[in-house]
Amino acid sequence: SYNFIDNNNRLLTPNLWYDYVWDFVNGYATVKIDNKLNLLKKDGSLVSQNKWFDGIRSRNKCGFFVVYDNELYNFIDTSGNILSKTWFKNAEAFIEATEYFPYTVARVEREDYYMNLLLINGEFMFPVWITNYYYDDENDTFRLVKDHRYNIFTQEYGLLSNEEKEN
């Protein structure tokens, strides 16, 4: 069993021992009990009070961890809140907005391999699930591809053609 010792030589979690622990990185350590993972804060509290996961990826600058459970992915914030109601077949870490791509998003994929971009508020950027997209930074538009068909999307106007719109 494993634990941590604080600066005063006291156990960080005296009532909870772990099957394995990893080093603290940016204020969080991954801990393992019964093949499930959680994140431990330096104050000895767990990030997720109610749920342990099969896998956890490092937190990025946007403040979210990618978590994996029952073969599906989602995101949690530093308080353990799950970001999306939907769990995904695959999820990439959030990328921060830049001068050339002014959106903070994570690429997510459903079990049928269609993808979307997830915003940090848990909403999807596009009203349809797609196979690919291309971003035009000069016009701030997205060319969406779905099954070899194309559509144009803008944040201001939505889809150019609504024939592909899903609920």
DSSP state at residue 26: T
Radius of gyration of the chain (CA): 19
Closest CA to 122 of 100, 105, 98: 105
Q: What is the pLDDT along the chain (167 residues), one digit of tens a residue?
A: 999 999 999 999 999 999 999 999 989 999 999 999 999 999 999 999 999 999 998 777 888 999 999 999 999 999 999 999 999 999 999 999 999 999 999 999 999 999 999 999 999 999 999 999 999 999 999 999 999 999 999 988 889 887 655 54
How is residue 125 written in tokens?
């950027």
The position carrying tokens 């990030």 is 47
- Measured at the CA of 61, the angle between CA 117 and CA 33, to 5 degrees, comes to 90
For the whole model, what pTM was predicted? 0.89
pLDDT given for residue 167 in this prediction: 42
